[in-house]
Amino acid sequence: MPVVRARGVDVHYVAYGPGREHAVRTAVLLHGFTLDHRSAVATFEPSFRGREEWRRLYLDLPGMGRTPAPGWLGSTDDVYDVTRAAVAELVDEPCALGGISFGGYVAAGLAAADPASVTGLALVVPMVRDRPDRELADFVVLRRDAGVERTPELDEMAVVLTPEVARRMREEIDPAAELGDQAAIERFDSRYGGSFPLSPPGGFDRPALVLVGRQDNVTGFADQWAELGRWPRCTFVVLDSAGHLLPLEQPALTDALIRDWLDRVEQSPPPA
């Protein structure tokens, strides 16, 4: 089980592609709140097919997956600090960053803190504001196939409820919740909004993707445009028939848009 020591925390990660010394490009991908690397792998990894030069690192955030959270870790700012230190230990050159939901929030913060070290940024249903300040979409179920077993999580978030969405929920999301350090997650939840900015002054000028769901009742879609949509090289997409489970509900479009983002990163000169 590979780990990297960062601010006294053994951060667990999984790696795909060439090793550190042979990689031409590197991407660091982050999962959502209470989950683990598996959901990020399932969302991003299909888009790296045929891109053998990329090294891909999927981290478990502190208190989630197999990364512990010592008692002094008590906020999203602490999660951000540990993640930033882990990335610095794992990556020597500028890298691409991606994140889903809470992981997107952390990834945007990392890019804002040091844009010269980031070759591109992909955010899928990203959190951009703390819960009391969000403008949320009205939740609606647009498709429910017969015979799909209902669960509280699906009933609360699934705009498109098919056997495939239910299967991926069982395999990628449900098991991760059982691994998390619930005491740590409660600490983070009580200090959920970070103090770090999400955009550098003047905006992030590298290839970016912000992908949100029109029916997302968890992080919404309008706040992301207000915070990030005016970046000069940002593809900003609001998908209908998609909520906070967008990568499960619209996998083909998710893959196509991430592939387009990777193309743009590869075609762009490295940061100056």
Kindly state the tokens that stand for 74. Answer: 């008590």
pLDDT in tens, the chain (272 residues): 799 999 999 999 999 999 999 999 999 999 999 999 999 999 999 999 999 999 999 999 999 999 999 999 999 999 999 999 999 999 999 999 999 999 999 999 999 999 999 999 999 999 999 999 999 998 899 999 998 988 888 889 999 999 999 999 999 999 988 899 999 999 999 999 999 999 999 899 999 999 999 999 999 999 999 999 999 999 999 999 999 999 999 999 999 999 999 999 999 998 77
The conformation of residue 77, written as its DSSP 8-state character, comes to H
Q: Which H or E run includes 13?
A: strand 9-16
Interatomic CA distance for residues 184 and 10, integer angstroms: 15
Determine contact, residues 121/209, Cβ cutoff 8 Å. yes
| Amino acid in position 28 | V
Give residue 186's pLDDT.
97
Give residue 178's pLDDT.
84
Give residue 228's pLDDT.
96
Closest CA to 148 of 174, 175, 170: 170
Q: How far is CA 221 from the centre of its chain?
A: 15
CA distances (Å), origin 183, targets 12, 69, 187, 194 = 19, 9, 6, 19
Determine contact, residues 151/136, Cβ cutoff 8 Å. no
**Please, what is the Cα angle at 270 between 266 and 272, to 5 degrees?**
160
> Within 13 Å of residue 222, how many CA atoms lie on the same side as its CB?
7
The three-state secondary structure class of 19 is: coil
Interatomic CA distance for residues 213 and 234, integer angstroms: 16
Give residue 153's pLDDT.
85
Determine contact, residues 39/31, Cβ cutoff 8 Å. yes
Give residue 106's pLDDT.
98
**Domains of the chain by start residue, with CATH:** 3-267 (3.40.50.1820)
Interatomic CA distance for residues 180 and 13, integer angstroms: 15
CA distances (Å), origin 140, targets 56, 102, 125, 244 = 35, 22, 17, 12
Give residue 150's pLDDT.
81
Determine contact, residues 45/52, Cβ cutoff 8 Å. no
Give residue 53's pLDDT.
97
Determine contact, residues 83/59, Cβ cutoff 8 Å. yes
- The sign of the torsion formed by the CA atoms of 40, 44, 48, 49 equals positive
| Amino acid in position 90 | L
Q: What's the pLDDT tens digit per position in 110-143?
A: 999 999 999 999 999 999 999 999 999 988 999 9
Neighbours of 236 (CB within 10 A): 17
Model pTM score: 0.97
| Amino acid in position 267 | Q
